[in-house]
Amino acid sequence: MHEALPSLIGVIHLPPLPGSPRFGGSLQAILDQTAADARALEAAGFEGIILENFGDAPFFPERVPPVTVAAMTAAAMTARAAAPTVALGVNVLRNDAEAALAVAVACGASMIRVNVHVGARITDQGMVQGRAHETLRLRRELQASAVRLLCDVDVKHSAPLTPRPLGEEAEETAGRGLADAILVTGTGTGRAAAREHLETVHAAVHVPVLIASGVTETSLPSFRGAHGVIVGSCLRASGRAGDPVDAVTAARFVEAFRKVWRTG
């Protein structure tokens, strides 16, 4: 039996990990910041947390090296220990669903984010292709059916090979790709999604739809009707992705979310 999918999910943007070009030399410092961010999100009232290797740019287009998987696992275990009451998720950028599933199984996470699950997109990493056929079979092989697949459509920082209706892409991602939830984003990190895109995707699928970029306290009311939101940049005092989570800012966002979602 699946637990309810969280409707309010905060993102921990991990600093550059070992093996990446800007790694600062101390994995322990990264784990300490991960624990602090996780505690801040839990204390603020977030229902879920997603960790992503945000600082590892430039990203591998698909498979990441073993050192990244190891570091992500260490960070996920740290977040789980620091914030045991919230649902945990993993996103291995740019598009390594196999690694994300492996980390999720190792640390007891309940969801992974997959940026390109079906089809193909042109990105700054080149062409990235969906591997839904591999991801679903691996999830079954690992006996990890409880790990939900949260999959983007028209994902940020990318372009389609050819123009395609958004509703069609969403329908295939959920229907043929068996995604457990669909994520709607803007064109880049911190950039707002369009209300009309939410409406198009919502009409095309019968799984939860979440807004996954650019949501702020003031824009929350425009996304009523979504299952929930995934937020990162707006939880930083600076508003910049990659900075530490600010406890006061995170708590204020939760208060705003509850006002809109419980009454909207």
Q: Which residue has the tokens 């070009």?
A: 21
What are the residues facing 9 on neighbouring strands? 48, 230
Long-range contacts of residues 103-106, Cβ cutoff 8 Å, at least 24 apart: 103/69, 103/72, 103/73, 103/76, 104/76, 104/144, 104/147, 105/142, 105/144, 105/147, 106/73, 106/76, 106/77
- Sequence letter at residue 212: A
Q: Which residue has the tokens 């803007």?
A: 186
Distance CA 245, CA 109 (A): 20
Count the neighbouring beta carbons within 10 Å of the beta carbon of residue 145: 11
Long-range contacts of residues 27-30, Cβ cutoff 8 Å, at least 24 apart: 27/71, 27/74, 30/71, 30/75
Cβ 153 vs Cβ 201: under 8 Å: yes
Distance CA 152, CA 84 (A): 26
DSSP state string for 211-232: E-SS--TTTGGGGBTBSEEEE-
Average pLDDT, the chain: 93
pTM reported for the whole predicted model? 0.95
78 to 5, 73, 89, 98: CA distances (angstroms): 22, 8, 13, 21
Which of 249, 247, 190 has the alpha carbon at shortest distance from 215?
190
> Could you give the percent of the chain with pLDDT greater than 90?
79
* Per-residue pLDDT reduced to its tens digit, 205-220: 999 999 998 899 999 9
Bridging pattern class, strands 158-160 and 181-184: unpaired
pLDDT bucket at 1, cuts 50 / 70 / 90: very low
| Average pLDDT rounded to a whole number, residues 93-117 | 97
- List, in order of start, the domains of the chain with CATH numbers: 8-263 (3.20.20.70)
Per-position b or e across 240-254, b if 16+ CB within 10 A of its CB: ebbbbbbbebbbebb
> Could you give the percent of the chain with pLDDT greater than 70?
97
